[in-house]
Amino acid sequence: MLAVQQLESGYGESIILRDVSLKVQPGQVVCLLGRNGVGKTTLMRSIMGVLKARKGLVSYNGKNLTKKSPGFRAKSGIGYVPQGREVFPQLTVYENILLGLEASSGKIKEIPADAIAKFPVLPAMYERRGGDLSGGQQQQLAFARALASRPEVLLLDEPCEGIQPSIVDDIRDVIRSIKEEGQTAILLAEQSLDFVKSVGDYFYILEKGAIAWEGGLEALSDEVIMRYLTV
């Protein structure tokens, strides 16, 4: 289980997240919601260790990761698809995916066929440079790169942002298939309510850098949506 306890995090002088606690249980798709700028990306980055927490705890299966590097966290089984993808533009699609294997500490030597089978468009593009792909294709590439090391928890930061509807549908199908397989839990930050409702098991809503609401799909009422999510 991934657990965040009383996390405080920010940039320079400003504190962005205060007293944030959440859990992602094995096999779950947990969604992180909130209006623009509430701190969803800051939370993802703090969980991955790209941003150091100021207070609180990030742990995975009881192991305290709070002071550990992003590389250590990746090797502990946490995958990350950052907002904006962060595909290496000069490397080929194949090389980008190979880099994802680094997180397996040498245990996985070849790109797993079942991980790549989730993105059938990619093999035909193996020799193309990452930077030449469309935004949607880059999103699929970043997703495949993260899955290549068979993470136990996957952090997905706004995978549908700026993506054409047909690829959003493909991404939804990939998330559903990961959920059915039950090997990888997902923490999904996403603005699209329809999307999260179609895949999510449990929901946390951030407001002003703190968890303002949490609950299951049945509790995510119109009133809650109006109060915390409507712009």
Ligand X SMILES: Nc1ncnc2c1ncn2[C@@H]1O[C@H](COP(=O)(O)OP(=O)(O)OP(=O)(O)O)[C@@H](O)[C@H]1O
Give residues with Cβ within 8 angstroms of 97, minimum separation 6: 111, 116, 122, 141, 144, 145, 148
User: Which residues, numbered 91-120, are part of the site for ligand X (CB under 6 A)?
Assistant: none
Under the binding rule (CB under 6 A), the answer on residue 36 touching ligand X is: yes
Output b/e per residue, 104-137; b: 16+ Cβ within 10 A.
beeebeebbeebbebbeebeebeeebbeebeebb
201 versus 207: smaller Cβ distance to ligand X: 207
Under the binding rule (CB under 6 A), the answer on residue 37 touching ligand X is: yes
Least distance (Å) between residue 198 CB and ligand X? 19
- Residue range at the interface with ligand X (CB under 6 A); choices 32-40, 111-119, 177-185, 192-200: 32-40
Under the binding rule (CB under 6 A), the answer on residue 39 touching ligand X is: yes
9 versus 140: smaller Cβ distance to ligand X: 9
CA dihedral 217→168→44→134, nearest 10 degrees, is 180
Binding mask 129-168 for ligand X (x = CB under 6 A): ----------------------------------------
40 versus 150: smaller Cβ distance to ligand X: 40
Sign of CA dihedral 209, 213, 215, 221: negative
The residues binding ligand X (CB under 6 A) are 11, 16, 34, 36-42, 83, 191
